[in-house]
Structure 1
Amino acid sequence: MISTSDVEQAAERIRGRVRRTPVFAEDGVWFKLEQLQHTGSFKARGAFNRIIAAGSLPAAGVVAASGGNAGLAIAYAAREFGVAARVYVPVTAPAVKVAKLRELGAAVELVGEKYADAHDAAVKHAANSGALFCHPYDQPEICAGQGTIGLELLEQTGGDVDTILVAVGGGGLLAGIAAAVEGRARVVGVEPRTAPTLNAALAAGEPVRVEVSGVAADSLGASLLGDIAYAVATRTDAGSVLVDDAAILDARAALWDRYRLAVETGGATAFAALLGGAYRPAPGERVAVLLCGANTDPATLTSPTAAPPAARTPR
């Protein structure tokens, strides 16, 4: 479990280590551009908070399991502190992310078809070597670090936000932001219909394993919602909506066509709920969309089914 005070402490720890990413209002919506963060995703925030909060680091350095973005963040933060990083990734991880991991100096191990396989290997390495294990989404320091986005968003918008749409994989991002803005805004988790960890957990009354597939599985491919995310989601009454793969691809293409914003499929998932109608704001509701990642092949940004730009006036 984490609280607003945990997120505030994380913000102090990582100040000067991460970028304060921009916010802009367009078509009546706030967009938080976290895809411009170090290593191309929000994950750098949690990585720095986890490593700094640990204090002195073991000689074996740090280890993580990741479909890509969390590993990139851990590798980047480790390099900043001059310590070794080992990252276990499933063989399905995008080549662009694996190449970047190696460029950042991490030792990369390809293990299994799914994230769970890479996770088990990373945990085993941590136990055998003494390396600091950095979970991609279910550690208090990781979640609190991600939550600093919520504090920034409230500051940048003057608190002029009622609802924040956030993509969900394992739930660390949702947990952090929901804790950060508790009592000031509501968070709604958006997931691919083919990877519904939050939706399934809320329906079952506890985190349950789900089958994972689809266009965003490389970044939203956790098969089980984190315990921290479940606890924070239920405490803060976080919402949950599901979107189809086609809606995600349309949203990604629309972000490029309308605003020249390049994001990965996971990064477009929150916007897909708004663009495709899975989430329909009430009259006067002030909505923010978090664009959370940009590690993608630019050649794939457009989609033949992308919706045309809407003719709406920004608030």
Structure 2
Amino acid sequence: MAETETCPLHFPSLEELSEVLKSGLQKNYAEVRVSVVDCPDLTHKPFGFPVKGLCGKPRIADVGGVPYLVPTARLDKIYNINTVAKKIELPGAYFLGAGAASHRSMGLNAELIFSVQAESTTTPAVNGNYVAHINPADGGCLLEKYSDKYSDCDFGLLSNVYASEGKPGKVLEVNVKKRTGEDNFVSCMKKTLLEHYGDRSVGMGGTFILQEGKAKLHIMPPEFSACPLNNDEDVNRWLKFFEMRAPLICQSVFVSHDPGLDLRLEHTHCFSHHGEGGHYHTDTTPETVQYLGYFHPAEFVYRIDKPSVTHTVGRD
């Protein structure tokens, strides 16, 4: 795996972040509650994660990037979560977030929803990842538990992941209802942090549930585009969009300001227990939408295998 760059992030207290986020979210939602709480046991429903919490040496990794997908796919870009754990100096880390599945493993292109604990010197990896891909039978969504068919911990092209020791501890609980603004849930928090902290980069990761309503998601086609995807319009024509229903469990990573590492500043993928999942864009039912999330700031960001030639296409 190629070069890794590391940058410390601004790391406010949870109490401070609670007040900052509350102020920003109130501009976008009719009802807002943000508080510091003990992280719920994430091994329980509806999460079903392999770890109990989001705490312990929190950090973010941005691996590869969209330039490895568009304009044309770099099929040689295959990564392994156990290797990433070593790169970020946290063997045995728990990872959540969003990325692309390994086409080498699956034989097709798919959205990867991360929930995996990397191997350590004493324990094997526990892969709770999901994959969302296009069902060849009807063109709809096919959501599967990755470990039901595959035994590796690989992914391809790009990922944005939050990593920690997976320990219980204090986190931010964010509960909002009825969207009144234009921004999606994640974008609103990211913008709020940018407005408050400016060029002091704050990174956060966590999991949230779309409890009520529906959302716009996309899934990449199983075949990479034969024609170069040169702009956002090309990308959107290639992607398959869906409206999916609550409850959706969403794995999210966002950074308020790029400290010069060519980061993807927000990325969220969702899974469910009713067969739907993919890449989250926004809710489509602002009057009835409800979100409940648990988040934690990161101390560092690690930029792994940054593309040497970059662009801003396809980063929504």
Please report the TM-score for the alignment, with normalisation by the length of structure 2.
0.29
Structure with more helix by fraction? 1
Structure 1 length normalisation: TM-score? 0.29
Higher strand proportion: 2
